Each structure stands twice: as C-alpha cells, then as structure tokens.
Structure 1
Amino acid sequence: MSDPEVQEQRVVVGVDTHADIHHVAVVTEYGKPIADQAFLTTAAGYREALRFITGFGEVLQIGMEGTGTYGAALTKVLQGEGMIVIEVDRPDRQHRRLKGKTDPLDAYRAAQSVIAGRSTAVPKAKDGPVECLRVLRAVRVPAMKSRSAAINQIKGLLISAPEVLRSEYQGMPTATMIGVMARSRPSGHQADPSYVTARVLKALAVRYQHLSEEIDEATAQLKDILESYAPMLQELTGVGTDVASQLLVTLGDNQDRVRNEAQFAALAGVAPVPASSGKTSRHRLSRGGDRQANCALHHIVLVRMNIDPRTKEYVAQRTEEGKSKREIMRCLKRYVAREVYRQITNPVPAPAIADLRPLRHELGVTLQEAAGSLGEWPSTLSRLERGRTRNDHLLLRYRGWLHDHNTGAEALTDSAVDALQV
C-alpha cells in the first residue's frame, strides 16, 4: 500500500488491556481487519503503540477495555494526542463461548463494538478533584469495613469470655469500652484463657482506634474537597459527605461525558426497565449501572422517607394507589437522581435561613406556638432554623407566617398608639 492510500484510509482501533501487555488491533471504518500487535505496558511500549495506531491512516475512534484500570495510562497518552477513546465493556459470556477468546480476538471485537455503536461511553478523565475523592474513598471504605469487623470481633469474644472479663466491660458504651481495653495491661500465662483473651481484646481495641483515626482523617480531607468543588451538593436532604463523594466519583471529573439526567439515571442503575407482558404494564428495578451510586441514592431515599414531608406525602399517595414499597422506592430513586444531577451540573444554593430564629425571637414567638400554627413538630422547625434539614416549601410557609405575624403585631401597635392619642 502506497503512502497516499494509507493517508486516505480511515481506521478504527480496538485495544485489549492487561497488566503487562496491551493487544492493539486496527480495522477499517467498515470493520475489515488490517493488523494487530502486542505492546508492553511501559512508556516505550505506549510510544510504539501510538506509532502503530497512526501508521494505517486517519484514526476515527479507539475502543478500549479497562480504561479506568489496566488501560488508564494508555488512555491518557492517546487522549493527549487528541484521539477519541471509547470505553468498551467485556463481551458477554455467551458470545465468548460461541466465538472463542484470545487477546487478538478481544481487540478486534472492541473495534467492531465501536463501529456497530454498541459502545459509546466516554472514559473518566481522572485528572481533577473527583479523582482525589475516589482515592480517598479507596482508603476510607475498607477502613470502615475493617473497623466494623473489629468491633464485631470484640463483642463476639466478650460473649464467650471468662466472667471476669465480661463483668469488667458489661454495660459500657462502645467508645468507653474501646478506650478501657486499649489502656489495659493484661498479665498472666500463655496457657491462661483469660490472659490470652484480654490480650486479643486489647489488640482489637488498638486496631479499632487506629482505624477510627484513619477514617476521621480521610473524612476531613473529603469534606475539604467537597466544600471547594461541590459545596451545594450537600445542601440536598439526605446527602452527606459519603453520599456526595460517591455520586461525584460515579460522574467523574469530565461531567460532560454524561449528557443528560436520563444517562445519569442509567449510570446509577435507577433507570426504569420495562417489564410489561400482555395486559400487565409495569417497570422493574434496574440491575445495571454503578451499584455504589445506586446504594448512595438508596440511602438518600431512606433518609427522606423518614424526615422529608414531601417524600412522606408521595409515599402515602402511591401506597393508596396500590404500589408496593419496592416500586415506590424505585420511583423515588429516579426522582432523586434527577435532582442530584441538576444540582451537580447547575447548582442552586439553599434559601437563606439566618433570619428565621432572630425574627421569631424579636416577635416573642415560641417554637411550640409557631409549630402549632403551621401544623408541624417543634423539632422540625428547630432543625430548619439551624440548617440541619432542608425543606424549601416549609421554609417559605414559615417565613411567610413570621412576616404575617410581624405585620399583625405592627398593626396592633399602631392601633394602640392612635387610641392613646385620642
């Protein structure tokens, strides 16, 4: 093939990534195989792969498996050259059983998947604050699991421990018990069960303390990043540090890769899946998407079902319509995904609350009086005044009631002044 023909040719590339070797396959824009070759996962190997990829003509797109793991480094190199990299999912098991599996076959399949339009996902950039959140969560989440395992081990050992140890720690709160165990100095013989159990309990308590410090440090760093990168996300009801960081990690640094709220819902595994048949018309839960993001949305829904008046009203309404709790939570997850996506891409600050409590005190109104007039619990208004919960509808009602009360008080004062003048 002459050079002019090579330059006029348009190709699509597929890459099968591994820890030590990446296999690259090149096909024409119509899917005809041209060549394939393996390259080492080193800087020199990436340069050779780049020369190989660009040696057959204009590169339209590059389909790659594992852009966030084994292929992360090569993805950055290719994107740095202005090439379009598409994330390709692993072929399903049935297709692999029918067609076989080798590295060259997987590379060609990646390229053909891009041509067929089955793969369209843009890889995460991993070059900004969201990547820092992901790394911190990679430390914090296992530490939390290990801490839970440590306290469960402690309580399990205490159940069958000798009476002397059980009576010593019986009735103590967890924090107090951990501190006492960590400061203890067991003494005895290696063949004495009480002594060995006390030593193990001390070791587990020290582990629990170290893990708590590690978790607190990671949490503080997560909060610092969130306050500078997405401070308004945590203003949504039910969204805390853990939930906000996970949702941002799912979306990635390059938020434009998810173009609308429907794509975000599918990415988080909350897009409704049709499950109709015959006269039955219904939707079911999605089992795809990022399950950690789905768990974060599930947490938001659980919190709102307990404290959010709007959500409570919605649950009561759908329950009367005959919906099950599972179906109601599926719908709520979809609504929450829409709200979260809009808050991330177009953040809206929460309404100001600093004037509520001073105005109430100025009017001499108690929480009980205000709550009775609004039909709410005093604790609900207290959390609203302190910014512990967000309820824009109740906030507008509460502020309107306070201003009406203030207007009424001013009118009474003016009437009293006029009466005195007469």
Structure 2
Amino acid sequence: MMLLGVDPHKSTHTATAVDPASNQQAGSLRIEANLAEYRRLLTWGRRWPQRRWVVENANGLGRHLAQWLVARGESVIDVPASATSRVRQLTRGGGRKNDRIDAAAAATAYIHGDGREVNVDDHTTALALLDERRVNLAQARVRTVNQLHAVLRDLLPGGAPPQLSADQAAALLRTVRPAGESEKVRKDLARELVTEIRALDKQLAENAARMEELVGASGSTLMNTPGVGPVLAARLVGRVGRASRFATAAAFANYTGAAPIEIASADKARHRLSRSGDRQLNSVLHTIAVTQIRMPNSPGHAYYQRKLSEGKTPREAKRCLKRRLADHAWRIMIADERRIKHQLPQAT
C-alpha cells in the first residue's frame, strides 16, 4: 500500500508518495488546482495499484480535491495540520518546511495513527450548509432591525418597542405624518427596511422548513427530545457529523465544552468551567437546557429541580443539566447511526 500525501493550497496542490514500510519517498508531483490537473494527479497516482490518498486539512483547502477523489472511488484520509506539524518537528532537519515536505509529513502522520477516512458529502454536509446560511440570515436580520430602530427613533416619540416585528413596524409607520423632507426620507427608508425584514423572515422560515425536511430524511430522532426543534437538531447533526468518532459520551461532552475541567489542588479534587470546545454546540446545549427548565413536564426540568434541592446554585444546576444533555444527545446520535447502518443493506 503506497501512501500519497497531499499538501493543498488555494492555487496549487503538491503530492508525495511515501512507502509506509520504509517511510521513504517514492516520487512527487505538483499540480495546479483545476480539473485537468486533477486528472493528471490521478493518472500519476494510479502507477501504484494499492494506494491511499492522505490529504492535509481535507475539510479546508483540500476539500474539493478530497471529494473529487472519493467520488472516483479513491480511498482518502483527512489528516489535521497539527499532526503534520508534529511530524516535521520530530524529523531530522529542524522542522524545515516546503510543500513536498508537508505532503510527505501528512502521509507519515497517518502512519503514526492520525487521520480519519473521508466520506462522500451527505445530509450532514447539507445541514451544515443550511446552518451556516441561517446564521448569516439571522445576523443580517439583526443588523436590519437595528437600522430600523435608529430611523424610528427620529420618527416616533420614544422610538419603537425592543421586540419589533415587520408588521408592528408597518403599523407604527402608518401613524407617521411627515412634516418635512427629512421626515419623508426617513419614512421611505423605514419602509424599505420593513420590506427587507419581511424578505429575511421568509428566507429564515424556508431555511427552517428545509432543515426539518433534511433532518427527517437523515433518520435522526433528535427532535423527539423536548426542546429540540429542527434548527437545533440540524446544528447538532451538521456540526457533529458521525457521533461514532467520539469513543465515549465523556469525549463528546469534552468536545462541546460541557465537561468541567479538573484543576490541581493540594486538598481535594476541584473542577472549573471549560472555556474550550465547540462553542456553537455548547450554545445548542445551553438553549436546550434553558428550554427544558421552562417546561414543567420535561425530564430536564425535574433534573434541574433535583439539583437545586441538593444545594446547587441555579447556574451550577444548569451546567449539570448541560452535561447530562450532552450525554443524551450523543447516545441518541449513536443509536441513529447504528440503526441507519443496519438498514443500508436492506435498502440496497
């Protein structure tokens, strides 16, 4: 088996063949980042019938090439840039760096156990794209509403209420009788902003409906959990991907930043709040926790009240609930993944 390490850049990619038995380089090729050069790279790689491509940062600059190779039946491994950096530091040469060395370092990192297999883009990628789009739409809506508030402050005594919808703003504008040219311009601008908000609201609704459709098609049962709607379920599935990449629920909780970190103490074991981990997933767990706390009949509400009765503060009890929800979400996603895996042979 020949390992073909790839160091991707925006305009060029460099591949180096490394024999895993001897860790010796057997050749190298530099190509431009275009489809014709991709085919030349694949032709070069086919000189080794038993081969495996090892792409550094296959979810970043190497994503297009990695997906192109996977779509043509090639075995592709993703290796993080941190792993190739460690290899360079530990090899002879004092951490010298160039594209050919980086490509070989990616292959060597895989030999040492780093890396994961790259799969064809599926519903997970689609949900991640929809989630990113939703974040951008929500930020655009916040900016537009803030602009509308600024205009309404100059048109209405005291301005508009904090929670302002497009319909409320339109109703307020109907009460405005412009007295001069500047007020006419302000009212026209406010009308334009209301139109933009309505368009953004429609796009957000369509985005949520598409998320719900894809979450259902993916076979996920996360929405059966109280407080988890299509948006939160889509964010969990899209950002986590395969839950089986986490060996335990504790590993997943650590990844989300929901697991407390033990700190050194001479007297007894102490822990502090984790500030690391995926903050987007941490935000999802926080939202679910807050929602369940407000639902009297939910399991999270009962757990939260039990922790309060044990003497914990509301903040501490909420952190405990987030940790419990991280375990629950991991178990649900693992169960979904296994069920779908068993159903695949029947579907084919």
Residue of structure 1 in register with 2:280 after alignment: 292
Over 3 Å counting, the alpha-carbon distance change for 1:69 and 1:182 in structure 2 is farther
Deviation at 1:261, TM superposition (A): 3.6
Aligned match of 2:263 in 275, 291, 311?
A: 275
* Aligned twin of 2:344: none
1:59-94 per-position Cα deviation (integer Å, ceiling 9, x unaligned): 3x4332332343223223433455443322223899
Q: What letter is aligned with 2:120?
A: A
Q: Aligned residue pairs: how many?
A: 328
1:166 aligns with one of 156, 164, 169: 156
Q: Give distance in 1, aligned partners of 2:110 and 2:220.
A: 37
5 Å matches for 1:411-422?
none
Whole-Å separation in 2 of the counterparts to 1:12 and 1:57: 11
Aligned-pair CA distance for 1:228: 3.5
Kept in 1: contact 2:13–2:33 (CA 8 A)? yes
Work out which of the residue numbers 143, 146, 163 in structure 1 matches 2:137.
Answer: 143
2:339 equivalent in structure 1: none
Structure 2 counterpart SS, 1:279? coil
- CA distance in 2 between counterparts of 1:112 and 1:277 reads 39
Provide the secondary structure at the position in 1 that maps to 2:199: helix
The match for 2:170 is: 179
CA distance, structure 2, for counterparts of residue 55 and residue 307 of structure 1:
62
RMSD: 3.6
> CA 1:202/1:92 → structure 2, altered by over 3 Å: closer, same or farther?
farther
Within the candidate set 210, 218, 232, 2:199 is matched to 210
Q: Alpha-carbon deviations, 1:1-49, whole Å to 9, x = none?
A: xxxxxxxxx4333222222222212222153333332222223222222
Question: Relative to structure 1, is the Cα distance of residues 89 and 108 closer, same or farther in structure 2, using a 3 angstrom cutoff?
Answer: same
Quote the residue 2:81 is aligned against. Answer: 90
Q: 1:198 aligns with which of 187, 190, 199?
A: 187
Judge conservation of contact 1:182–1:206 (CA < 8 Å) in 2.
no
Residue 227 of structure 1 pairs with residue 223 of structure 2:
no
Pick closer, same or farther for the CA change 1:93–1:38 going to 2, 3 Å: closer
Say whether 1:75 aligns with 2:59. Answer: no
| 1:27 paired residue among 18, 41, 44 | 18
Is this contact kept in 2: 1:182–1:205, CA < 8 A? no
Q: Residues of 2 paired with 1:271 and 1:295: CA distance?
A: 14
The residue that corresponds to 2:34 in the other structure is 42
String of CA shifts for 1:343-370, please: whole Å, max 9, x gaps: 23435xxxxxxxxxxxxxxxxxxxxxxx
Aligned partners of 1:184 and 1:202 also within 8 Å = no
Distance 1:315 1:113, change over 3 A: same
The residue aligned with 1:16 is 7
Counterpart of 1:53 (choices 35, 45, 52) is 45
Does the C-alpha gap of structure 1 residues 271 and 169 become closer, same or farther in structure 2, counting only changes over 3 Å?
Answer: closer
Higher Rg of the two aligned structures: 1
For residue 99 of structure 1, what is the aligned residue in structure 2?
A: 95
CA offsets per residue over residues 264-295 of structure 1, 9 Å max, x none?
43443435544334334234444554332222
1:134 is aligned, of 108, 128, 132, to: 128
How many Å apart are 1:241 and its aligned residue?
1.4
Runs of 5+ consecutive residues of structure 1 not aligned to the other structure: 1-9, 348-422
Residue 345 of structure 2 aligns with which residue?
A: none
- 1:334 paired residue number: 323
Q: CA deviation at 1:215?
A: 1.0
* Shift in Å, 1:239: 0.5
Distance 1:278 1:48 in 2: 62
Equivalent pair of 2:166/2:197 in contact (CA under 8 Å): no
Change (3 A) 1:208 1:346: same
TM-score under structure 1 length normalisation: 0.65
Deviation per CA, 1:298-334, whole angstroms, max 9, x where unpaired?
A: 2112222333564345445545666566654444333
Q: Tell me, in whole angstroms, the C-alpha distance in 1 between the residues paired with 2:283 and 2:329.
A: 14
Does the aligned pair in 2 maintain the 1:181–1:202 contact within 8 Å? Answer: no
Partners of 1:63 and 1:88 within 8 A in 2: yes
What is the alpha-carbon distance in structure 1 between the residues aligned to residue 211 and residue 220 of structure 2? Answer: 11
Which runs of 5 or more structure 2 residues have no equivalent in the other structure?
337-348
Change (3 A) 1:26 1:227: same
- How far off is 1:166 after superposition? 0.9
Specify the SS of the correspondent of 1:166.
coil
Shift of 1:101: 4.2
Q: Which moved more, 1:292-301 or 1:67-76?
A: 67-76
* Separation of aligned partners in 2, 1:93 and 1:260: 26
Counterpart residue number, 1:395: none
1:153 to 143, 147, 159: 147
Q: What TM-score comes out, normalization by structure 2 length?
A: 0.77
> C-alpha displacement at 1:250, in angstroms?
1.9
Q: State the alpha-carbon separation in 2 of the partners of residues 36 and 208 from structure 1.
A: 54
